[in-house]
Amino acid sequence: MKKTLGILLTAAFLAAGCRSLAPVYNIENKTVVLGSGVTMEQAILAGGAAKRWTMSAVRPGLIKGNLYTRGHEVTVNIPYTQNSYSIEYASSDNMRYNAKKHKIHPKYNQWVRNLDLAISREAARVH
């Protein structure tokens, strides 16, 4: 009886530590009102830097963002216009991404939400 209880408790503990995958969260054409003297490109670059993303301009209208943290890596594409932007999943490493189901470790979605909030904050600033 004790052995069975021990096995069940161990199995429950291990199962609790495993997170299920979540649908990939993308931001699509989010419209923002820019503060005076702010460009969308500046808001995206500053928002990414504030959340420790490495941002690089690919071409006018497209920025690539990379986040490296605790052995995980994610890359997003951020297409933008003068008053809107999107955040789109590009690739990841060590995030258990399932391409068929378009699911990923839930931490990815949290990082994208935080990036989105940081970009929105930077866009609203007055320079």
pLDDT in tens, the chain (127 residues): 556 655 554 444 444 445 699 999 999 999 999 999 999 999 999 999 999 999 999 999 999 999 999 999 999 999 999 999 999 999 999 999 999 999 999 999 999 999 999 999 999 987 6
75 assigned to some structural domain: yes
1 assigned to some structural domain: no
What are the contacts of 88-92 at 24+ separation with CB within 8 A? 88/26, 88/27, 89/24, 89/26, 90/64
The CATH number for 26's domain is 3.30.310.80
- Tell me which residue range forms the domain holding 37: 21-124
Structural domain count of the chain: 1
- The HSE-up count of residue 4 (CA atoms within 13 Å, CB side) is 1
Beta strands, E only, 3-61: 22-23, 27-31, 54-59
65 assigned to some structural domain: yes
84 assigned to some structural domain: yes
C-alpha–C-alpha distance, residues 46 and 69, integer Å: 19
Could you tell me how far CA 32 lies from the centroid of its own chain?
A: 19
